[in-house]
Amino acid sequence: MSFCVAIDGPAAAGKGTVSKAVAKHFGFPHLDTGLLYRATGAKTFEGLTPLDAALSLTTSDLERDDLRSGDAGQAASRVAAIPEVRSALVDFQQAFARRDGGAVLDGRDIGTVICPDAEVKLYITASDEVRALRRYAELIGKGEHVTKEGVSADLRERDERDSARAAAPLKPADDATVIDTSSMTIDEAIAKVIALIEAVRG
């Protein structure tokens, strides 16, 4: 029996951290769908077209060391705006979502496009300022040379591109529960999501 938890939201809102913790709590496999687009974008650095990159994607591509870089994030946002790329990656995501035993998927269009019939739909967000500070700390911790202003500008650019694209724009599903983590600790956010899922599972 399948049980899909769809978690969407903008970059650096906490959805990835929450998703991993929730998946571990319930024993569900987890798919960070953003990695699919980051890996596709990273492969374009090697000269492939975005569509060829998506069609040739393998599991090993999701383990590249450079997928969490700022460049990979920007490349992911660019290729994700291409309808043909999104279509090429839909089947992979939907098969993962409906595997026996349950699954947690996080991304930007899980509840609206990939799994519109998900048993639980969440949209995790935070203020622009909080998200920029979180992403800045993350990148500095990885040794990247960035500024707070530059990180904030990159996030704004991504938000605008992700929200304005014609194919699967970033937005909450109509029936999603919106959780703003701006003033929450990560433990509080995880506990809230676990409680919501347990209420649905009964």
CA distance 174 to 176: 6
For 31-90, how does the pLDDT look when each residue is reduced to its tens digit (9 = 90+)?
998 899 999 999 999 999 999 999 998 878 988 998 988 889 889 989 988 999 989 999
Residue with tokens 């569509």: 51
- Domain residue ranges of the chain, discontinuous segments joined by +: 4-193
CA Rg value for the chain? 16
Average pLDDT for 129-157? 94
Token representation of residue 18: 């929450």
pLDDT score of 148: 95
Q: Tell me if 17 is assigned to a ligand binding site.
A: yes
**What confidence score (pLDDT) does residue 130 get?**
96
CATH 3.90.180.10 correct for 4-193:
no
pLDDT of residue 42: 95
Query: What is the pLDDT at residue 202?
Result: 81
Mean pLDDT of the chain: 93
The mean per-residue pLDDT over the stretch 86-110 comes to 92
pLDDT top residue among 161 and 27: 27
Rounded to whole angstroms, the Cα distance separating 59 from 36 reads: 9
150 belongs to an annotated ligand binding site:
no
Mean pLDDT of 84-106: 92
Q: What is the pLDDT at residue 70?
A: 83
Res 111: pLDDT:
96
Q: Is position 13 annotated in a ligand binding site?
A: yes
Is 170 a residue whose pLDDT tops 90? no
Residue 12 marked as a ligand binder: yes
Residues 175-192, mean pLDDT to the nearest whole number: 97
Q: Has residue 167 got a pLDDT over 80?
A: no
**Per-residue pLDDT for 107 more than 80?**
yes
Rounded Cα distance between 163 and 147, Å, is 24
**Of 136, 161, 163, nearest to 150 (Cα)?**
136
Does the structure show a pLDDT above 90 at 92? no
Q: Give me the mean pLDDT over the 156-185 stretch.
A: 91
How do residues 26-35 score in pLDDT, each as one tens digit? 999 999 988 9
> Binding site annotation covers 50?
no
What pLDDT, on a 0 to 100 scale, did the predictor assign at position 168? 80
